Chains A and B, each alone.
Chain A
Amino acid sequence: MLIKRLLEFAGIEPQRFLVKWVSSSEGQKFADTISELAAAIKALGPNRKYRDAL
């Protein structure tokens, strides 16, 4: 939560960072979580703000 807020504070899209509790028995949930995250990041494009911006 702190990292997400800090990224937001620095003007970096907080959607790039995700922490989620997924148990080892929840394969589908894990796959869905990663797919969603990957789709969100793809939509945002490459992250040049955190590195390589200058």
Chain B
Amino acid sequence: MKISEQIRDYAKKMLEEGEVKQFIGFEKGRLPFHSTPVFITEPGQVERLIWDDYCITNLSKYLVNFSHEDGKTALVVKGCDSRGIVRLIQDHQLQREKLVLIGIPCQGMKDSLRFFSKGDDSLLSPGGKCQSCTHPNPVLYDILIGEEVKSVNMDRFKKTEEIENLNIDERYLYWSREFARCIRCYACRNVCPACSCLSCYLDQHRVDWHGKDPAENASYLLTRAIHVAGRCIECGECARVCPTGVSVMELNKKLIKDINELFGEQDAGVDFSQTHPLCQYHTDDPDDFQ
């Protein structure tokens, strides 16, 4: 049976039996290469649910909107969605018992947002964020649809190292071109499952706090990266949703690479027993700053 049909069957059953209040999945959007999040509450609406090559959005962030409501929510999870959920549970933003997770191993999704840049949807291959995915299989689920897939073993820090190997002026030149494209739409912040503050420091309105002008782009993007350090689950949504293609994810990768070097290899949002690397102290922690 096709994955879409299995999803619909589960959704129908869960909604009819009242096990869950709503079911979050994907439906077809306006154009053939648009698949977009959908929130189903009526069993009669489950036909809208689909599963195809464009279900790239990380759905985990949506759950924060419902965490204070009664009743359970079911949603379909790829590897990246499930890691987002683990991380949000660890941050006490979600309660596991209020979730029903339908896991789907993921082969990598196509990125419809690159369409405007490239102009031709036949050019869309499983791209961008999925190419450096380390966990294509859900790490947390109640029901699994389909067979587990092998992760692509590629060096996810290749570009990070390329930037590191530039000299300081070249690095500044690279980043000033990147930062210059930022339009401060905050899509990278809003989509991020590690950015779970209800009120962001950027939404404060005070003279000399943090302006909306592009002169503060570097400050914004670097601060954002530090705020999610140690909690970034590498779903790459920040870079994907960026309308101007700023390599936001490279800042996160740099932090992940450094955390791994300084405090030992770890992957955020994979294992409940693993605590936040920056929220613990060991006597043998490096202290180069002294």
**Contact (Cβ within 8 A) A54 B215:** yes
> Which of B103-111, B138-146, B171-179, B190-198 interfaces with chain A?
B171-179
**Contact (Cβ within 8 A) A53 B218:** yes
Return the CB mask of B165-191 against A: 1 if under 8 Å, else 0: 000111111111001100000000000
Knowing A21-B290, A51-B219 are in contact, say whether A8-B262 is a contact too (CB < 8 A).
no
How many Å lie between the Cα of A12 and that of B174 in the bound state?
A: 12
A40 to chain B, nearest CB (A): 14
Knowing A8-B168, A9-B171 are in contact, say whether A51-B254 is a contact too (CB < 8 A).
no
A31 close to B (CB within 8 Å): no
> Which of B15-23, B39-47, B221-229 interfaces with chain A?
B221-229
B239 close to A (CB within 8 Å): no
**Contact (Cβ within 8 A) B289 A51:** no
**Contact (Cβ within 8 A) A20 B254:** no
How many Å lie between the Cα of A3 and that of B229 in the bound state?
A: 10
**Contact (Cβ within 8 A) B171 A11:** yes
**Contact (Cβ within 8 A) B215 A2:** no
Interface size for chain A: under 10, 10 to 19, 20 to 34, or 35 or more residues? 20 to 34
Task: Collect the chain B residues with CB atoms within 8 Å of residue A13's CB.
Answer: 168
CB within 8 Å of A: which B234-289 residues: 251, 254-255, 258-259, 262, 278, 286, 288-289
How many Å lie between the Cα of A52 and that of B225 in the bound state?
A: 19
B29 close to A (CB within 8 Å): no
Partner of B222, one of A10, A19, A20: A10
**Contact (Cβ within 8 A) B226 A53:** no
The binding surface of chain B is classed by DSSP as helix
Knowing A2-B255, A5-B258 are in contact, say whether A11-B172 is a contact too (CB < 8 A).
yes
The binding surface of chain A is classed by DSSP as loop
* Most interface-central of A2, A5, A51, A52 (chain B CB within 10 A): A2
A42 close to B (CB within 8 Å): no
Return the CB mask of A2-46 against B: 1 if under 8 Å, else 0: 111111111111000011110000000000000000000000000
**Chain B residue at minimal CB-CB distance from A14:** B168
Task: Collect the chain A residues with CB atoms within 8 Å of residue B258's CB.
Answer: 1-2, 5-6
* Most interface-central of A3, A4, A9, A19 (chain B CB within 10 A): A9
B91 close to A (CB within 8 Å): no
B216 close to A (CB within 8 Å): yes
**Contact (Cβ within 8 A) B176 A53:** yes
**Contact (Cβ within 8 A) A54 B171:** no
**Chain A residue at minimal CB-CB distance from B278:** A2
Residues of A within 8 A of B (CB): 1-13, 18-21, 49-54
Residues of B within 8 A of A (CB): 163-164, 168-176, 179-180, 214-219, 222, 225-226, 229, 251, 254-255, 258-259, 262, 278, 286, 288-290
